[in-house]
Amino acid sequence: MSKSPLHLRPSGTAGKVHSVTPQSAGWTYVGFDMYRLSPGEKASGETNDREVCLVWVSGKGGAQAGGKDFGLIGERMNPFEGPPHALYIPAGSSWSVTAETDLELAVCSAPGGGAHEARAIPPGTHPALTRGKGTNVRYVNNIMPEDDGAAHSLLVVEVITPGGHTSSYPPHKHDQDNLPNESFLEETYYHRLNPPQGFGFQRVYTDDRSLDEVMAVEDGDVTMVPKGYHPCAACHGYDLYYLNVMAGPKRVWKFHNAPEHEWLMKA
């Protein structure tokens, strides 16, 4: 078991294996659940005053949400096979997903509001991005970026970092509600490794080091970022996938680089 309060191992191999709520995390906005379902098994929920983004991390399942039948959703059978299928569900709705294959379903949530409708988010909805140079190259699939305008507070993105590369790097933070310079966003990372026996590292720390946690992350782990910088490193031979959920008082991702490492942006 991890010694860091910011590091969560899966609670098992079936059913709901992760559950992060604002209450359990000691924060205000972000929620994250992970289901591992066998064919025929079902996950369901009520959004109440929150909005939800379901992400098909792997596998296929039939979905109903917001009074609509979205049919069979899903294509890739592991998170390293290409961009994901996802489904947005507004506040005040119910949803259910029934697995057709083995299914890993992420439930990302944050406070909801506004006149939004349930909608499918298929691969290709947003362009794939490549960020960084050299051993800082990583590959980004935006699922619910800030410029899509179709949510109240939820931001969702996934990233693949090749083995031997760094990500969320140079170290950056978004823990000050100080726009236009920086936005306040809580964040979770759901980590996967390829091959799955690998491991990577994530550090979460503040300028004054009052928070300074270094975590060895393994396949299926969740890390939480309440504040501070939060770089990741993928070890040689093992690609690192992570699914990020972010939310705060404003749906804007505006980060601040660690000043001592900002020279890397110009190198």
Give the residue-averaged pLDDT of 125-141: 96
pLDDT at 42 over 70: yes
pLDDT for the residue numbered 72: 98
Q: Is residue 205 predicted with pLDDT exceeding 80?
A: yes
Band of residue 150 on the pLDDT scale cut at 50, 70, 90: confident
Mean pLDDT of 216-234: 98
For 42, the enclosing helix (H) or strand (E) is strand 42-46
The pLDDT value given to residue 149:
80
Residue 2: pLDDT above 90?
A: no
CA–CA distance, 87 with 1 (Å, rounded to integer): 33
Fold for the domain defined by 7-265? Jelly Rolls (2.60.120)
- For residue 24, which of 226, 173, 216, 205 has the smallest C-alpha distance? 226
CA distance 267 to 263: 6
- Exposure string of 36-70, with b = 16+ CB inside 10 Å and e = fewer, is bbeeebebebebeebbbbbbbbbbbbbbbbbebeb
Q: How does residue 3 score in pLDDT terms, banded at 50, 70 and 90? A: confident
- Delimit the domains of the chain by residue range: 7-265
% of residues, the chain, pLDDT over 70: 99
Would the pTM of this model clear 0.95, i.e. be above it? Answer: yes
Residue 28 predicted with pLDDT over 60: yes
Question: Tokens at residue 73, please?
Answer: 């959703």
pLDDT for 1:
44
The amino acid occupying position 133 is: K
Sequence-separated (6 or more) residues with CB below 8 Å from residue 88? 51, 52, 53, 116, 118, 119, 121, 144, 150, 151
